[in-house]
Amino acid sequence: MAEFWNEYGGLILEGLRDTTIMVVASTIFAYIIGLPLGVLLIVTRPGGIWERPWCNRIVGWIINIGRSIPFIILMILLLDFTKFLVGTKIGVRGAIPPLVISAAPFIARMVESSLSEVDGGVVEAAQSMGASIWQIVRKVYLPEARPSLILGASISIVTIIAYTTIAGTVGAGGLGDLAVRYGYVRSVPPVLLTTVLLIIVMVQVVQSLFSWLSRKLDKRLR
Amino acid sequence: MAEPIIQIRDLTKTFGQGADAVHALEHISLNIQKGEIFGIIGLSGAGKSTLVRCMNLLERPTAGSVVVDGQELTQLTDRQLRKARQSIGMIFQGFNLLMQRTALDNICFPLELTGVPKAQARKKARELLEVVGLGDRENAYPAQMSGGQKQRIAIARALATDPKVLLCDEATSALDPTTTLSILELLKDLNQKLGVTVVIITHEMKVVERICHRVAILSGGVVAEQGEVAEIFANPQSEIGRQLVYPGGVKLEALRESRVIRIAFNGGSSYEPLIASLAIDCGVKVNILGADTRNIDGKAFGTMLLGLPQDPAEAAKAVNYIQSQPNVTMEEVPDHG
Ligand SMILES: Nc1ncnc2c1ncn2[C@@H]1O[C@H](COP(=O)(O)OP(=O)(O)OP(=O)(O)O)[C@@H](O)[C@H]1O
Ligand SMILES: [Mg+2]
């Protein structure tokens, strides 16, 4: 055990760190893009507070295209763009742009679905009080959908964790990279096992933490 | 009378186009006076909600004009309209409170929208909580409150910006009879104390009877009749009016076999004692057909319609008794039937 740790401990910790950085950074950037897109889908939809059928359709198409390209293909497609954006095609930095671009449309749909659960009557009440579109988004849609948005975030993060492991196989580093190098190429089962275990723990932690947070912040529950 | 606070002219609202078009409202004209409680009653699908939603332009009329407090709403820019809506409060059947906010923060909401400083907004919200009788529930969330309490919070929220008009769309339809009465009393109270004009949409005649001064009966998107509540109760002109006033299907003619009188209170003792003492002193029971009375400081003002007993001797006894009362004047309602 100690021997194993001496040999691979550093690598595993490094992989864990890289994966965490990739997940956290991609989640943040993907939300910076996906959240406004989700909001845009809701406000511009038919019967929305800022009805714009064409805008809604176009944003919808773009999101669908983004979602229909498999992550691994997207990574390859984006290689030059990634290089242009962050100066490298590989490593943790190189993985972030494709992660963001593939997670953002997914997040936009998650956000759309959370916001669509907000009671239309409440939105209407806000309109009757003279709220502007922006005020309704900020003070009605987002806070009222908060518990659902948090649950949605846990699903998004778990998806991004899965993507990072795929990214790892094509040189992004992190736990996925370890799993491929030591599990597949060199066949060191304990390393493979440890990385799998760590990924399972990460997913569990994210899921429980966010579920707890969502429940704690939901004032509809007594 | 004073100038109307809501003036609707030739309002038409059509949903959809061509063959699928639904003519929800057709050529509606109404005047709602400052300070009155105006009822709009009709069966389901009559267009009541559509009409009230045209009063703050939640629904944009297809044609016609909506003037509220001197402003033609249909001509306003978005910004002007939002400003105008701040002086038109609205409450709903489903309360529509923000579920993730406390009662207090719900009431602060419209004040936040207008940029009132937080401390000032909270102070105002606390006052309003007292007004609606929920001073001790400021930290409760809507999920922790009963329907009646939620509607009180919604009323307080609607009043936070000191609106001139309060629109109520089936505000009591989700409540039990006792709670309905208490909400109606609250609305009546607010109308008297704050002078806010109240527009009440309902499908229940008893709501109109209880608090409205005037009423419009809506049927199939048109106004079947409108006028003083007491008059419509005494003598509904339209078929739908008769249906609503006599839901049991009582024939107006049958009812008109007995005499109907209108009595006016000019500040005497309140009306319940009069009806009660009529029964006790004379042994005569009268039917209250309609009432438009208010108690102000324990004194009664307003009018009431009474159906006298069939027996002429009993009727005469009642008339004599009423005529002997101070501060009450009486007239016979002629039989139009
Ligand atoms: N957004 C809409 N699109 C199409 N038709 C509508 C719309 N809103 C209302 N209508 C139609 O307009 C008519 C009047 O509806 P409205 O909701 O005003 O009736 P109401 O008198 O409030 O009825 P209720 O007592 O059931 O609430 C109905 O025939 C309804 O189907
Ligand atoms: Mg309705």
Whether B142 is covered by a domain: the verdict is yes
- Arch. (CATH architecture) of A2-221: Orthogonal Bundle (1.10)
Residues of B in contact with A128 (CB under 8 A): 56, 58, 85, 88-90, 167
Residue B206 domain boundaries: 6-240
Residue A48 has which token pair? Answer: 């929305």
Q: Under a CB-based contact definition with an 8 Å cutoff, are residues B268 and B325 in contact?
A: yes
The secondary structure of residue A157, as a DSSP letter, is H
Domain identity same for B274 and B146: no
Q: Which residue of A has its CA nearest to B78?
A: A132
Domain identity same for B301 and B183: no
* pLDDT of B212: 96
pLDDT tens-digit map of B86-117: 999 999 999 999 999 999 999 999 999 999 99
Residues of B in contact with A130 (CB under 8 A): 81-86, 110, 113-114
Domain identity same for B274 and B206: no
Contact check, Cβ <8 Å, A144/B113: no
3-class state of residue B97 by DSSP: coil
Domain identity same for B89 and B232: yes
Strand order in the sheet with B37-42: B88-92, B165-169, B197-202, B37-42, B214-219, B222-228
**Residue A44 C-alpha, separation from nearest chain B C-alpha, in angstroms:** 17
Domain identity same for B91 and B151: yes
Question: Could you tell me the CATH number of the domain that includes residue B296?
Answer: 3.30.70.260
Whether B246 is covered by a domain: the verdict is no
* pLDDT of B264: 79
Whether B145 is covered by a domain: the verdict is yes
Farthest-apart Cα atoms in chain B, separation? 68
Residues of B in contact with A135 (CB under 8 A): 113
Q: Is A143 on the interface with B (CB under 8 A)?
A: yes
Q: Under a CB-based contact definition with an 8 Å cutoff, are residues B128 and B196 in contact?
A: no
pLDDT tens-digit map of B20-32: 999 999 999 999 9
| pLDDT, mean over chain B | 89
- The parts of chain B modelled with pLDDT lower than 70 are 1-2, 247-257, 268-272, 292-299, 335-337
**Residue A16 C-alpha, separation from nearest chain B C-alpha, in angstroms:** 37
Say how many Å lie between the CA of residue B92 and the centre of ligand 2.
10
Which of A50, A119, A122, A128 would best serve as a mutation to test chain B binding (most B beta carbons within 10 A)? A128
* pLDDT of B54: 97
* pLDDT of B128: 97
CB-closest option in B98, B144, B158 to A144: B98
Domain identity same for B133 and B235: yes
Which of A129, A137, A139, A150 would best serve as a mutation to test chain B binding (most B beta carbons within 10 A)? A129
Say how many Å lie between the CA of residue B26 and the centre of ligand 1.
13
**Residue B23 C-alpha, separation from nearest chain A C-alpha, in angstroms:** 19
Q: Which of B58, B76, B55 is nearest to B66 (CA)?
A: B55
Look at chain B and report how many structural domains it folds into. 2
Q: Which residue of B has its CA nearest to A50?
A: B78
Domain identity same for B322 and B219: no
Enumerate long-range contacts of A54-62, CB under 8 Å, 24 or more apart. A59/A108, A62/A105
Whether B157 is covered by a domain: the verdict is yes
* pLDDT of B253: 47
Whether B291 is covered by a domain: the verdict is yes
Amino acid at residue number A211:
S
Contact check, Cβ <8 Å, B99/A131: no
Strand order in the sheet with B260-269: B287-296, B299-307, B260-269, B328-332
Secondary structure percentages of chain A, helix, strand, coil, to 5: 85, 0, 15
Domain identity same for B147 and B215: yes
Domain identity same for B177 and B130: yes
Whether B251 is covered by a domain: the verdict is no
ipTM: 0.93
**Residue B49 C-alpha, separation from nearest chain A C-alpha, in angstroms:** 13
Question: Could you tell me the CATH number of the domain that includes residue B33?
Answer: 3.40.50.300
Q: Which of A151, A123, A121 is nearest to A216 (CA)?
A: A151
Amino acid at residue number B281:
D
3-class state of residue B327 by DSSP: coil
Domain identity same for B175 and B315: no
Question: Is A204 or B271 the better-scoring residue by pLDDT?
Answer: A204
Domain identity same for B279 and B229: no
Whether the predicted pLDDT of A160 surpasses 80:
yes
Average pLDDT over residues A171-188: 87
Domain identity same for B92 and B204: yes
- Give chain B's contact residues with A (Cβ, < 8 Å): 56, 58, 81-86, 88-90, 92, 94, 96-102, 109-110, 112-114, 141-144, 154, 157-158, 161, 167
Looking at the DSSP bridge assignments, the partners of residue B91 are B168
Is the backbone of residue B35 left (phi > 0), alpha (psi -120 to 50) or beta? left
HSE-up (13 A, CA, CB side) for residue A88 = 9
